[in-house]
Amino acid sequence: MTEATPGARPRPGAEVTAAAPAKINLTLRVGGRRADGFHPLNTLFHAVDLDEQIVVRDLTDGPDQLEVVGPQSDVVPLDGSNLVLRAAQLLRQEAASAAVRALPPGPVHCLIRKAIPVAGGLAGGSADAAAALIALNQLWSLGLDHGRLVHLAGQLGSDVPFALLGANAVGTGRGEELTAVTANRPLHWVLLTSPVGLSTPAVFQQFDSQPGSPPPDASPPRISPALLAGLRSGDPWLIGANLVNDLEAAAFALRPDLARTAAAARAAGACGVIVSGSGPTIACLAPDQAGADALAAKLAAGSAPGLVRRATGPAPGARLCPVY
Ligand code: C5P
């Protein structure tokens, strides 16, 4: 990651662009609800090459401005609840602290170029937040190092630190405590997206209300060693057989059509099929690149246009984009 020199601002009117990836949870093991409303997790994050982009530039006056372009841009909140504007606010507070010797940041224009489905279980909003942290750190010459950005990311959302880190990582706590997992063999995915999103809090609530849900504060089950072995060796069949998502039953209860989509993907020859995060996206693992292309073609034939996408992981975390 490029780090800015504190005090050395980019030229006036300059734009900074950053990108951050979508994620799939290869495992999502969920424990009992904590007193703060979050659930303790043991998860294995895997970043895929479906990027969200953020472009930021300083404004001379007025409030912050947020613009969204791309698919589903009309359903993205433009108010202060948007994680990009919250990232800007958090960095302003950081800039005001004694540890950061930077000029006080003014208002900013942020453009989100959406590519990740909204409320799809792929952490698109978290990718926006991670890209915004990187871009504004550069635009405002804050000079914050990666560790500090990861700490701030955890304040914005459980999945934001992973969007900064990328590749593969085990997430514990509420998902924000990360340990990188080295495994660079590519995995080839077909993502079955949905035109209507699922609310993450609603899926966790459904999980809590289901028979057999863990008691408050119960620890999550551990990540299967077979999955970790499969990831390290790059064996898609071993990985596919060990994909687990404890939120899957809750997502299927809220959206019974997803169970049928998952069954169709299994029947079409995927090595493994899993609901991504809290859904509704269904991630289908293929044996190799050609297998993924063939699986995508087969599944697209029975699906509405634009809902079947190819993706490959692991992908890098949030990064600055070169200016051409
Ligand atoms: O951290 P984030 O803002 O992305 O979480 C959104 C919501 O998802 C939380 O308010 C909570 O309802 C649920 N959640 C949870 N346990 C987690 C992560 C998220 O219950 N570990």
pLDDT 10s per residue in the chain (324 long)? 444 445 456 666 689 999 999 999 999 999 999 999 999 999 999 999 999 999 999 999 899 999 999 988 888 889 889 999 999 999 999 998 867 766 788 999 999 999 998 889 999 999 999 999 999 999 999 999 999 999 999 999 999 999 999 999 999 999 999 999 998 789 999 999 998 999 999 999 999 999 999 999 999 999 999 999 999 999 999 999 999 999 999 999 999 999 999 999 999 999 999 999 999 999 999 999 999 999 999 999 977 777 999 999 999 999 999 876
Active-site pick, 23, 64, 114, 298: 23
C-alpha 35/C-alpha 19 separation (Å) is 34
Supply the pTM of this predicted model.
0.94
Residue 287, phi-psi category: left (phi > 0), alpha (psi -120 to 50), beta (remainder): alpha
Instruction: Find out whether 264 and 270 touch, Cβ atoms under 8 Å.
Output: no
Report the residue among 174, 177, 219, 247 best suited for mutation to probe ligand 1: largest number of ligand atoms under 8 A from its CB: 174
213's tokens: 């849900």
C-alpha 201/C-alpha 278 separation (Å) is 9
Which atom belonging to ligand 1 lies closest to the Cα atom of 201? 12
Q: Which of 27, 308, 17 is nearest to 181 (CA)?
A: 27
In the chain, the domains with their CATH numbers are 15-181 (3.30.230.10), 187-313 (3.30.70.890)
Alpha helices in 26-82 (DSSP H): none
Alpha helices in the chain (DSSP H): 83-96, 124-139, 146-156, 160-165, 200-209, 225-233, 236-241, 248-254, 256-267, 289-301
C-alpha torsion sign, points 238, 252, 120, 165: negative
Q: Specify the DSSP class assigned to residue 223.
A: P
What residue ranges line ligand 1, CB within 6 angstroms? 37-39, 41, 157-159, 174-175, 200-201, 204
Residue 114 annotated in active site: no
* Closest residue to atom 19 of ligand 1, CA basis: 38
C-alpha 101/C-alpha 33 separation (Å) is 40
Active-site pick, 58, 159, 246, 298: 159
C-alpha 156/C-alpha 132 separation (Å) is 11
C-alpha torsion sign, points 222, 228, 229, 235: positive
Instruction: Find out whether 185 and 307 touch, Cβ atoms under 8 Å.
Output: no
